[in-house]
Every structure is written in structure tokens, then in C-alpha cells.
Structure 1
């Protein structure tokens, strides 16, 4: 009979799959190392086992102990599988930008999940780096994994992932492309492949808000490059010991939008349901296409499963809110389609300024058209009201007609968005659109900005 003694024995030997439609413009053979076939559905299963086994061997992890780690979710899943089989407890410290699916999955496999804010410095006591270290100090019989600086991370890929790729390509691989987070995968695989053939090029995929690319090119750790980003699993605001920059031939950066869009494209064009970092890798691959020749064999690694992003990249509402959804914005009505059914809030000429202020607060708006029995005759916005208040503290009890400005311009449905944009000036912050039913709706600068792709 052919069976595994436990689930951990199924880790590794993931398939190499030829990519077709999504890389049609690349003149080379492109193969994806699909790591979702691991039992924890990510590449992190490999190093989770290695780090725990090495810690057991040298006594850092004692029987019945508690494993503590800061994770974006995938390492936590790998650690959870090993913890279940080997009888350890697990505490995962995760940042609040990670998907809800990742947190739910970790809890489902028995991990205690501690959520920390994303937008803090690594040294901030609230950061998931700091919280992980603190919990390790406070928890008896515990071991802090520290995947960033734990060299068993890259060693796992040197011993397993690299040899697999070399064997599967029959030694013909010319380029390896992978997202860089902790650095274990790129460094471990890169070390093995370059030992086999120093001419193999190793490319890292970075994201905007991360320090890797500039540091690799200049040796400068530029804190001005550090800011919050959406892409999960790649990029860092620290320099992990596992990142061996001497093995990396270059980096390319991919935007949050491109990473999200290409994550969906992989599923739709290749029938491979993978996560956010895979989307970043494919877009990065396309950005590097001039480096590839027809005889080249390019391997790109897909880190994890798309199931962990169904509430994010695979959710139309989430994508639309961030301006990531590929929608054709050409006409005036396109920029307000998400709220076109809402009633237009107006104020009448004889109403008091206090009434307009109350409506602005209630509906969280900044501009209001002014009407009388003839139609639209003026407008007020928060800037007008502020100036009026500075000039006269009793303005709240005055009629709107005494402080209103010119009426907003009115456009018809079908007006090109370029024409609508020209109507916004320093003196005019909104435009009205006449709908098919004769009613009107307001278009603000915020709507125009939100439509920019």
C-alpha cells in the first residue's frame, strides 16, 4: 500500500505547470511552481517543518511547548499543521491588513490569533514584530520562531524547493522569479540554482512601500520608501537576515492594483486559483520580459491559494472600492453608478444656513445645490460657510440666499468624462447631471478622483 504516515509527509514535490495565455507576450517557456498543492496550501509549509525540526534538535523547542510567530497567515498555517501532528500549542500574531480568511483558517486549525495594527513602525510595541517577541518572553516553555531571521527558513528551500525545480526542468532553468517577503524562498532556491549554474538569473518581485529594490541597487535603507500597502506576502519595512542580496540579480516593483488585477487574471486565463503574491509575480514577469529569450526557461513561484483572498481580490465590491476593478469610465454617469440611486440633497433659498450645516453633517457631504420654485439657483459648500462664519458669527440664522454661490453646472447623461472634468475649477467643486427620469444627481471632485485608474 502507498500512503503517508501523516499529513506532513505530503509536503513538497509540487507540480511545475506551463503558463500560456497570461504570458503570451513573453518569448520564452514560462513555468509556474504551484505551491498550493502543499497540504497547508502554501510554500510556507516547507520551512515551517524545517524550522520546528531544527528547533527540536537543538533544544529551543521543548515537548508540549508553545510556538509563537508573527505571520501574514501562510507561515502560521504551516506551523499549525506541524503543531497538531507534534503536540505543540501555537500563537500567531498577525497584522490587521491580512485577509479575514487567513485569520479564520488559523483559528480553524487550533491557533490562537492575536491581531496587531499594520501602520506602525517595526519597533513600535504594538507592531506584530514587537508583540511576538513580548509574548515569547511572557509565555512559559515557548519558542519564538522569527521566520525573518531564522536561517532554517532559507535552508528548507535550499534542500527542497531548489532541487525540485532543478530536477523538474532537467537543469534547463535560466531564470527564477519570485516574490520576496522573509527572503527564505528566493535565497534558498537562488543559492542552490546558482551552485548548479551561476548563469541562472534570480529576480525578486517587490511592492511599493517596501525597501528591497532600492536597498539592493544602492545599499541605502530609505525609510521614506516605507508606507502602508495592500499587497500581501511580499515586501518589507525591515531587512530580514534570510534575504541574501548577493544571490539576487535584480528586483522589479509591482503596484497594489496590478497585483490584484493579475491575481484574478491567473484564475480566469490559466484556471489556477492562487493568491495575491502570484498576481504580483506575473505582472513583475511581464515587466521583465525584455530580459527573456526564446530558448529561456523561466520558473515563477506561486506562493499560496486564492481561497485566502475571496473577500479581497476576488470580491468585486472590495476591488471597486479601491479603484482596482477594470471598468470603462467614459461618461458622466459612470463615475456615480455606485450611488446614482440616492436622493439629491438640496436646500432652499429661504432656509437658514443652520439647515444646510445640519444636512452636511447628517449626510456627510460638502456641497449642496440651492433651489427655489424655478429650479437650481445657487450652491453652498463647506468652504463658503466657513468664510461666512468667520466674517459673521450670526450667519447660521441668515437665509441661504445671502451666502450662496453660483449654481453648479448641469450636464446631460452621456457627457464625456473629459468634458465634465473641465467644469471643476477653484470656484466650482461640483457638477449636476440630469438623469433620464428628469431628476438630478451630484458629481463631486471625489467622484472624479475615485474613477482614476
Structure 2
């Protein structure tokens, strides 16, 4: 557990004689997150109860960290391990899981928990089909909150000398919140338990309403569209809603100002803690649980390009002064109009078309694309993808009615952008266009 110094000062919580923040850094666990605790606990209890036996297959639906904890245990014990996780979870988590020998199944992020395509439904479907398969089920397994009741909460009490006034923690499965809160309230009846839930999630009670514009959230590991069995919401004294931008900016601040290499959900907890702790009195202490580390998010919120694409930071003011080409139009790249296919074209026909035309990519076009940007934003998009589509709006009139659709007018790759830049001269103003060229990543 470490003292939060610079951020505490920034938010007016700098003096121990007043009120202060300390962080429990769970990313120092062997697998990099607080979920190592429940992974080991659930495996050991399943073995003790005869649920896991030699030859058993561990299957688990997870946002990644529980999967890593279970995959570590499976690697040591010799079990086959299959992890089912939504598409939005980071590539780094997938790579770590595969390195541990786990098999990966991805599911649509948009699928609700009770949908046949959700990570939970797919995991149970696999369990029914694979002989010897076992789902330890962190959402219902009592070993989840008990792991935190027996260890995490005891460590917090010990490291705080038995005196603390508030704990702030994010809620995902709810095991951490339930286990920690239950033990602390037994020992310290007046301790305040603050739960953190992202906009778009359905865990919080009596909190501000979800932002209706949020249909999904980028923060991983907290929030759900259902209330897990292991979450006892009656133990939470107050809920706060967090958002992606504040979460990621605070996570980056924890890294830069406090030297704590933590993940995005740690930023969620800290962004709420600096608000909730203002209600404390002189001499009181707030503990913030930082559940995982930055290793799993190197290509996500650590990346300026990734953050800029989602509107969490702006690169324009700095980069437009560095590069003459940053704010030029994409039309300046002089792309040729590509061939496109509709979704009804078969894969065989598409491959034959690419072979005949000597091209290695062909857009599949049906719906309108997302608004695009200039070469500056294009360069950040190409850091994460091999190409981007350039589309233009076109008005189509038929039988007295008109509609606007978007037509693909180009495919741009890193080579196209570099060829444009290395010419070394700025295009003349008359060569730029005022039309609605857009980019689709």
C-alpha cells in the first residue's frame, strides 16, 4: 500500500493532518491483477471438493484478468484451460493467456449477458459439449468474495494499522467489493464503502442515471449488464458513476505523477476517490483499490493515437505545428477509386476479383461510415490498422425521393501517406477540396 502524494495535493487532500489517500496496488500480484486471488482460491476449492480432477477442462467467461489467474493455476496443475472473453478486451490479455497455454474464444462485446452469443452463454455451451469441462463461475462462486474477505480485507486492515474511514473500489463481478466490505464492516462498523460503476453498466444503486448516449464503455474489468450473484449491493454505502475519459486520464496521471503502472479501472477508482474523499473529516484516511496494471493496455490508453481516436485527448494543437501535412485534406493523397463489393458477394468471388485486379484488399460496402478526419488523424488511425477507407457523400434520387449515401472513393495505407509526405512540398490551396471526404477506420 502506498501514499498518493501529488494527486492528493492537486485535489486538496495533501495533508495527513487533514485527509489523505492511500492506494492498495493489486497489480503486484504474480499475474498482474487482483483476480489472481480468486483464480487460485476457486481452483483449490474445486480440487478439494472433487469438482476438478486429473483430465478436467477449466472453462471460464471473463473480461481477462480472472482468466489469467485461472490459466496460471491450470498451467501449474496441468489442466486444459479455455477462456471466453468479449472482443473489446485487450490484445495484450489474449497474448498473455495464450502464452500460459489457454485456448481463447472471443464473443461480441454488444451481446447482452443472456444472449446466446454472450461470453457467459458461449462458455456454458462449450461446457455442455466438452467432456470433463468445469466452469468455476466467478459470478456465482462463493470463493470469489471469500478470497477477498480472508486476504485482501485483512491486508488492508493490517497495512492501515486497523484504522481507515473509507474504501473506494470498482465493481465487476462484485467479489472484491463484497468480500472487502463485509470484513471491514465487521471490524470497523463506521467505515464507508464507495462503489465505482461505469456509465452503461447496471450495477449501481441510487447513483446518478446512466448517460443515455453511452452504449458501451472502453474500461475493462468493471461494470456489467446484470447483477452477479456474488455482489451484495447492500454493503455499498454510496455508488458513483465513472466515464471512460476521466478513467483513462486519471490512470495516465497515476502513472506519470505517482509512478504507479496501473490499468484503466484503477483510474476509474481514483477518479471517484478524489471526489468522495472530500467528504472526510480531518485526520481521516481513504483507501483506493487499484486492481490491475498497465501491461494489459499498452496499445490502448497508453497510446496517444488510441486516446485521440476516441476523443479523450487532442493531438491537433501540437502535431499541426510539427508537420506541414497534418491538416491537409485526404484528397491531397490523390487516391484512385477502388473496387468495392457488397455483403452478398461470396468469399470465393471476392478472392478471384482481387487476384484478377492485382489488389490485396477490397472494401465491403453497405452501411454509411463514421465521420472521418484529415491526414493527421489518418496517421493515428494507421498506427492501429493496415488501411482506412475514404468515403464521400452522394445524393441519390429515385421515384421522387432522395437519400444520401456514402460511397467509397479510396483506400489509403501507410504507403500512400508516406508517399504524400516524402514529396516534401505543401499542396497548393486550389488543390484542396471543400467537399465531405471522410475516413473510416
Contact 1:252 1:287 in 2 (8 A): no
After TM superposition, give the deviation of residue 443 of structure 1 in Å: 6.8
- 2:150 matched to which residue of 1? 159
After TM superposition, give the deviation of residue 365 of structure 1 in Å: 10
Matched, 1:196 2:187: yes
Within 5 Å, which residues of 2 pair with 1:45-64? 45-64=36-55
Structure 1 unmatched runs, 5+:
1-15, 347-360, 368-380, 394-434, 448-453
Matched, 1:148 2:139: yes
* Secondary structure class of the residue paired with 1:217: coil
Give, in whole Å, the separation in 2 of the partners of 1:366 and 1:73: 31
- 2:8 matched to which residue of 1? 23
Choose which of 116, 124, 149 in structure 1 pairs with 2:107. 116
After TM superposition, give the deviation of residue 438 of structure 1 in Å: 3.9
Choose which of 216, 234, 255 in structure 2 pairs with 1:246. 234
Give, in whole Å, the separation in 2 of the partners of 1:208 and 1:317: 23
- Shift in CA distance, 279/338, structure 1 to aligned 2, threshold 3 Å: farther
- 2:347 matched to which residue of 1? none
Choose which of 283, 300, 308 in structure 2 pairs with 1:295. 283
Structure 2 unmatched runs, 5+:
14-18, 335-364, 373-391, 403-425
Q: Deviations over 1:114-161 (max 9, x none)?
A: 111110121211110100111111111121011011111000000000
Within 5 Å, which residues of 2 pair with 1:159-238? 159-213=150-204, 216-217=205-206, 227-238=215-226
Q: Which of the pair has more CA radius of gyration?
A: 1
Choose which of 243, 255, 258 in structure 2 pairs with 1:267. 255
Q: Deviations over 1:52-90 (max 9, x none)?
A: 111112222122211110111111111111112222111
Scaled by the length of structure 1, the TM-score of the pair is: 0.72
After TM superposition, give the deviation of residue 439 of structure 1 in Å: 4.8
- Shift in CA distance, 80/365, structure 1 to aligned 2, threshold 3 Å: closer
Total equivalences in the alignment: 357
- Shift in CA distance, 444/312, structure 1 to aligned 2, threshold 3 Å: farther
Q: Deviations over 1:295-350 (max 9, x none)?
A: 1111111111101100100111111110111557699999x97552633599xxxx
Scaled by the length of structure 2, the TM-score of the pair is: 0.73
Give, in whole Å, the separation in 2 of the partners of 1:445 and 1:173: 57
Report runs of 4+ in structure 1 exceeding 6 Å deviation: 220-226, 330-334, 364-367, 443-447
Contact 1:151 1:241 in 2 (8 A): no
Choose which of 68, 75, 81 in structure 1 pairs with 2:66. 75
